[in-house]
Structure 1
Amino acid sequence: MGKSKIYLWRTLASFILVLFTMPLGHALMIIMEKTMTPEAVHYAGFTMGFVGLILVIIGVFVKGDTRQTLWGLIGGLLFWTGWVEFLFQYYAHRFGVQPEIENGVIVTKPEYLILPASFGFWMMMMTMYIFSTRNGCNFITWIQKRLFGNRKNEIAFQPMTRHTSIVTFMEVNMILWASYLLLMFCYDKNFLGDHHPVTFLVGIGCFIGAIYMFKKQLYIASWGANIRMSVATVIVFWTPVEILGRINFFKEFWVNPQEYAVQLLCILAAFVLLLVYMWVKGSRKKHNNK
């Protein structure tokens, strides 16, 4: 058997595009918190989530797999930031949830302390995906094979109606959600703690998993599918980054955007250039298929 073709540039570009959304998203939230009143932040956050939802819906009616993926990616990130993170922040502040403080420094904000209470909702969504859908998620497919064995095609025999924008949107939100739940469980001293050996093993496991996923991604020819794979790869890769930042192994410059404006502006410029490049690529492919 001959070797499959490797798409190094597509994989790197897709990975970097999604990777840059991580520090940019953190920086955006911090800039909003430091430059706006609490009331304005909540209004802006709610508006951000609504705009994200609209972008995802627009993506349903856009032609082209790559473009639909980009609409779903950007919309999903805005939705998560606005209607998940900022809404948790609003209710945490409204009802006086206190942050976790160590040595006089806030290590966990109030909104993240209450986020684990959403575990039941996450499991509800996962139950639906595992028992009612046939999809392209390797993790869910693996669970289905282990649970159902030879009856897999009988239990989950058909996919949902497929809209690439919605698929990307759900992927972004479900994997981000799972990552936050995992990290909050690891950081919680009632269970493990941020310096617990198991927490370090989780980080190492995610790093190795991200390398394995990146290797698989190298063989994906389609820009849209490569970007969607990057969503999972980047979020898994970002888990050990979060753990290392938590224990002050390195300085998370994106949490101090006012001090590292040049670096963040360079990341933003590179992100926008990649976004435009992929949008144009998607447009050319659509015209070539006509």
Structure 2
Amino acid sequence: MSQLIYRKPVVGLLGLLIGFLTQPLGHTVYKIMETGFGAQVYPAAFMVGIVGFLIVWRGLKQDELKATSMGMLGGWLIWIGWFEYSFKFFAELYSVPAFPVEVDGYAAAPQANMLQATVTIMFAMLLLYGIFNLQTKCNFMRFFHRNLRFSPGMPTPDNQRSFARITAMEVLFVTWFCYQFWLYMIYFGTKGPGVNVIMGVYLLWSAWAFYLVYKCTQQIRTAVSIRYGIGAGIVLWGSAEMPAHFGAYREYWLYPAEYPLFNTITSVVFVTVFLLLARRPRSNQPSAKSASVST
């Protein structure tokens, strides 16, 4: 059984499932914190972010698989605690109003407006630390290097990578990008001719998502499966979530008290698959060294 789990296409699909489930569970955790902590939710969110940073810090000295797993978990907590709740905090602090995209239709929430305001800052960071990075081995970044005929050069041979930091940054940037893309895309409107534009883009997005699913099935290493699955899973989540914004179904993950069975099953599946991959027997896993691992 274990041999089947850690072979393609299963290992890649499990990595995809982890990345995919970070999104609905992130919403669920957000709602549970909001309900459970009440007026003290912002200090609690700050501490959640601190825990995320500590997990990434500890992951810097681990082998590739453990570093990747800790980077994913830490980055996820950082997003929930320091990104999502900071957008809401500053929206309330400065009384940011909702933005009506259309008359008697969709209005962007105040915290969504704060998120969208980060577009130039985060994009600049993506360029400087991603596309302009000589040492990057990210397939997504290298895709732009090849097709735009722009390359800062080849990575230094045998350069050790900080897998915990890389994975945490992947969680943050991919989640941020997908939020930004669809928040701006919905400015075309949720009714009238604009819907046709959104539907066309949605089909293209979904085609990309399913291509990434196929690429996940080709992964053979557990750590790489997790890292690839993060990006692919979050992109695939966009295809799964967008219909809910047009009333196709209710977003169960936003109502943990009303749908406890659904959210419990989702949580159990996520934890089980995460531990299954993160705790893969060392004797069965090929591994690269993390940047801070002593030789």
TM-score w.r.t. the length of structure 2 is: 0.85
Residue segments in structure 1 that go unaligned for 5+ positions in a row: 1-5
1:116 aligns with 2:116: yes
Counterparts of 1:14-163 in structure 2, within 5 Å, are 14-38=15-39, 40-63=40-63, 65-100=64-99, 108-128=108-128, 129-148=130-149, 152=151, 155-158=152-155, 162-163=161-162
* 8 Å Cα contact 2:13/2:213 also seen in 1: no
Q: Once the two structures are superposed, what CA deviation does each residue of 1:186-242 show, in whole Å capped at 9, x if it has no partner?
A: 123xxx224422222222122111111111221211000011111111111111223
Provide the rounded CA distance (Å) in 1 between the counterparts of 2:69 and 2:107: 33
Provide the rounded CA distance (Å) in 1 between the counterparts of 2:75 and 2:181: 20
Q: Could you tell me which residue of structure 1 aligns to residue 291 of structure 2? A: none
* 8 Å Cα contact 1:66/1:282 also seen in 2: no
Q: Could you tell me which residue of structure 2 aligns to residue 171 of structure 1? A: 170
Q: Compared with structure 1, are the counterparts of its residues 194 and 156 closer, same or farther at alpha carbon in structure 2 (3 Å cutoff)?
A: farther
Q: Could you tell me which residue of structure 2 aligns to residue 3 of structure 1? A: none
Provide the rounded CA distance (Å) in 1 between the counterparts of 2:69 and 2:28: 21
Q: Could you tell me which residue of structure 1 aligns to residue 211 of structure 2? A: 212
Query: How many aligned positions are there?
Result: 275
Q: CA deviation at 1:126?
A: 2.4
Q: Compared with structure 1, are the counterparts of its residues 42 and 225 closer, same or farther at alpha carbon in structure 2 (3 Å cutoff)?
A: same
* 8 Å Cα contact 1:88/1:111 also seen in 2: yes
Provide the rounded CA distance (Å) in 2 between the counterparts of 1:261 and 1:246: 22
SS in 2 for 1:132: coil
1:260 aligns with 2:256: no
Q: Once the two structures are superposed, what CA deviation does each residue of 1:66-97 show, in whole Å capped at 9, x if it has no partner?
A: 21111000000000111111111101011111
Residue segments in structure 2 that go unaligned for 5+ positions in a row: 1-6, 289-295
Name the amino acid aligned to 1:24. Answer: L
Higher helix residue share: 1
Provide the rounded CA distance (Å) in 2 between the counterparts of 1:52 and 1:115: 20
* 8 Å Cα contact 1:107/1:246 also seen in 2: no
SS in 2 for 1:28: helix
Q: Once the two structures are superposed, what CA deviation does each residue of 1:21-73 show, in whole Å capped at 9, x if it has no partner?
A: 211110111122223223x110011111111111111111112x221111000
SS in 2 for 1:281: coil
* 8 Å Cα contact 1:99/1:106 also seen in 2: no
* 8 Å Cα contact 1:194/1:247 also seen in 2: yes
Name the amino acid aligned to 2:154. Answer: F
Q: Once the two structures are superposed, what CA deviation does each residue of 1:113-134 show, in whole Å capped at 9, x if it has no partner?
A: 2211111112212221212334
RMSD of aligned alpha carbons: 2.5
Q: CA deviation at 1:264?
A: 0.8
TM-score w.r.t. the length of structure 1 is: 0.86
Q: Could you tell me which residue of structure 1 aligns to residue 13 of structure 2? A: 12
